[in-house]
Every structure is written in structure tokens, then in C-alpha cells.
Amino acid sequence: MSRVENRRNYYRILHVQPDAPREIIRSTYRTMMHKLRMHPDLGGDDWNATLLNEAYETLSDPKKRANYDREQLSQMREGVTTDAMDSVAASVSEFKQQCIFCQFPHQYNADAPVGALCNNCQSPLSMAPQSQVEDSCRRAIMRTPKDHPLAFHLNWPQSEPCSGRTDNLSLNGMRFHSDKALELGQIIKIDCEILRAVGRVTHSQQRMDLDEQWTTGVQFVSLSFEQSRGTFVSAQA
């Protein structure tokens, strides 16, 4: 591998962190090639696709990745500046915003349209306040039973989602019960019959009435309602 090739930042090319697990690298590579249409068969640039393949081939192989990491560390110690402006990085620079949950880039600015989803983890991209701005929508919201099954992810990808049941739902957030103790400020992805959301944990307390059960409150950060099924309202979550 030449010094020029060594200076390529494969992590930046694939838009992943240096400690990203192989599953994240594979998922991101496939999304960029197909959903973001960077594969030549889908109209993508041949050179960019070559660099993506080169980055994926290196980072998806444990031995090659370890060698690459050692070479990068050695260059940093020698004072060699990593080239952060590879053509692939430039080609995805238009995706300036990132999914709040999985940090995958998307093409929207701060005002992502209601209903827009991340191409990687399918989390909603529109901010929670934007998902409920219309008075007509607010007036149409109907209360639903509090007790709903839900699934939530702590990271992406995750082999199996965690499960829980809602206790209180509102336009601003929710409270639910599960067997997971979550950390204050933790960001989670939530899916249930009524909505998709990314939420920030505001509290997580062990239940007094049930062993190994926790009550967790979250504030919605991004939100998308399944409006065709009806929605809900409550003063507080």
C-alpha cells in the first residue's frame, strides 16, 4: 500500500467512527452503494465506487483493518496529515446533516420534511416540534389506551430490539416500562403502532411493584406519527 493510499481516511470515506463494529461498516457501505445510489450501475461515479470498495475491503477484514490502523497511527506520530478530502468524502459532503440516532448522513438541512426517515436505521428525521405544528392536527388528535407494546433500540444495528410497554404518551414524549435500566441523556430509537421516534432519556427508575422492571421517561427529539391509525394526546409524559 503506497503512502498516498495510506493517507486516505477510510473511516471518513465510509462515514463511520474508528471504533465502529463490522456490522455498522457493512450496513453503511451497502446503504451508500445502493440507497444513496453511489454504485456505478445506479448512476454513481466509478472512481468513488472504487474508493468505497477499497475502504470496505480494508475495514471489513480484521487483519487488514488492524494493519491499516497501525499504519495510520504511525503516520500520525510522524506528523503526516491525513487527507480528509477524498473524492468520496467530497461527493457525500452534500449530506451535511446526520441521523440523530445512528449518525448516518442525509440530504436534508435542519428542516427535514415530516415523514422523512433515515436511509440506514429508519428513524424519523424531522424534529419533534415540527411534527405537530398544525392546529388542525392537534385538534384531530384523539386519546388512545396508554398500554401499548413498543420496541426500542439502544444502538444500530442491534440483533434484536428491546421490548417494553407504554405507560403514558404525549406529543412531547412518553413513559414506558421495560427490563432495561437506561442512562440519563441516553438516545434511543422507539417504534410502536402509533409512532416512530428518537428520544432522549429523562429518567429511569426501578419499579417498586415489580422486580427487574424499570420505568423510563423520554423526551422526543425526532418524531413521525402513523396518522392513518390515529394519534394521542396527554399533557405530560
Domain interval for residue 223: 128-229
Question: How many percent of the chain have pLDDT more than 90?
Answer: 25
Average pLDDT over residues 61-70: 89
**Nearest one of 222, 235, 232 to 102, comparing CA atoms:** 222
The per-residue pLDDT of the chain, averaged, comes to 77
β-strand 173-178 against 162-169: which pairing, if any? antiparallel
Which amino acid makes up residue 191?
A: D
Residue 21 has pLDDT above 70, yes or no: yes
Query: Which domain CATH number covers 218?
Result: 2.40.10.220
Query: Which domain CATH number covers 27?
Result: 1.10.287.110
Does one domain contain both 147 and 87? no
Kindly state whether residue 100 falls inside one of the protein's structural domains: no
Most confident of 132-146, 178-192, 212-226: 178-192
Task: Render pLDDT for 72-131 as a digit per residue (tens, 0 to 9).
Answer: 777 666 554 444 444 444 444 444 578 889 888 777 766 788 788 888 899 998 887 544
Kindly state whether residue 115 falls inside one of the protein's structural domains: no
Does one domain contain both 136 and 73? no
Does one domain contain both 136 and 215? yes
Does one domain contain both 196 and 150? yes
Judge whether 61 and 153 are in contact, CB under 8 Å.
no
Would you state the pLDDT for residue 98? 81
Q: Residue 11 in 3-state DSSP?
A: helix
Does one domain contain both 59 and 137? no
Does one domain contain both 175 and 225? yes
Of 93, 114, 148, the position where a domain reaches its end is 93
Would you state the pLDDT for residue 78? 58
Task: Render pLDDT for 203-224 as a digit per residue (tens, 0 to 9).
Answer: 999 988 777 899 999 998 888 8
Average pLDDT over residues 170-191: 91
Task: State how far Cα 136 lies from the chain centre.
Answer: 30
Distance (Å, whole) CA 174 – CA 187: 14
Residue 47 has pLDDT above 90, yes or no: no
Distance (Å, whole) CA 123 – CA 101: 7
Would you state the pLDDT for residue 79? 54
Per residue in 4-20, is it b (16+ CB within 10 Å) or e — as a string? eeebbbbbbbbbbeeeb
Would you state the pLDDT for residue 227? 57
Does one domain contain both 70 and 147? no
- Tally of domains in the chain: 2
Of 66, 93, 120, the position where a domain reaches its end is 93
* Least confident segment among 18-32, 96-110, 173-187, 204-218: 96-110
